[in-house]
Structure 1
Amino acid sequence: MAQLIVPALARVYDALRPFTEPLIRAVAGASLAAHGYPKLFVDPTRTGEWFESIGYEPGLFWAVLVGLTEFVGGLCLALGLATRVVAVPILIFLATAIVYHWPSGFYWNVQGFEYPLFWAIVVLHFLVHGGGSCSLDRWFGREV
């Protein structure tokens, strides 16, 4: 392990270490769920119309599928429940979002692929590592 420039911070880092991964998982999952909620419960018809406008038909089907992926998958990810299982459809959705946003370039503020790429890397971490020690997967004693 590398020597710390400020050795006194080792105690702070050690104290925070158990909380960082669950926090990242919870925030990533909650963010996905927040994006899925309106697709399912606010105006799925309008979301379906948008999906049709970009070539995904029938639009309502895609609105519900993406909404479920984000909402249910996000809640499961946040809780660390079936973490690796839900990471797969989330990554497929995010890979599709990256392809869609690719022509706009990298930066998110011009509709680029930066945002879905960032979240895909976060979700990839949980596909590879699972829900971690502070997850329902661990509590149930089962992971894929």
Structure 2
Amino acid sequence: MANLSLRRARTIIRKAIEHGRANDMKPLSVIVLDEGGNVQAFEREDDAAPGRFQIAHGKAYGTVMLGMAGTAQMARAEAQAYFIAAANGAYGGNLIPVPGGVLVRDAKGRVLGAVGVTGDTSDNDAAAAKAGIEAVGLVAEI
């Protein structure tokens, strides 16, 4: 059974950052959460803003807790702002419903956790997360 071991989480982070460097992105911060929303691993590149942990965490946390990627959360916020506002209140203001929060699934579709990336544009952040997730043989839902 696939899982998000610490080894896999670290590889996801390394590959996401490598993707960022290969694509001339701004310094990234990357977090991996398990299926319960617990921090598995986090790294912030040199010169990344110091507050990026909270942003990466908010992107990933909303993703895993709502079971929908950041892109879907943003669409939901645009269509039903009251729902995302209520969910954000229920989760203590910890949601950041934008791209860059990416669900991690195994080959059977089971949610294993989420990755949150921040530092560049939200779409670039999501692409970096996807690269990291796919590098460990898992499925990224952006």
TM-score, length basis structure 1: 0.25
**Structure with larger Rg:** 1
* Between structures 1 and 2, the one with greater strand share: 2
* Between structures 1 and 2, the one with greater helix share: 1
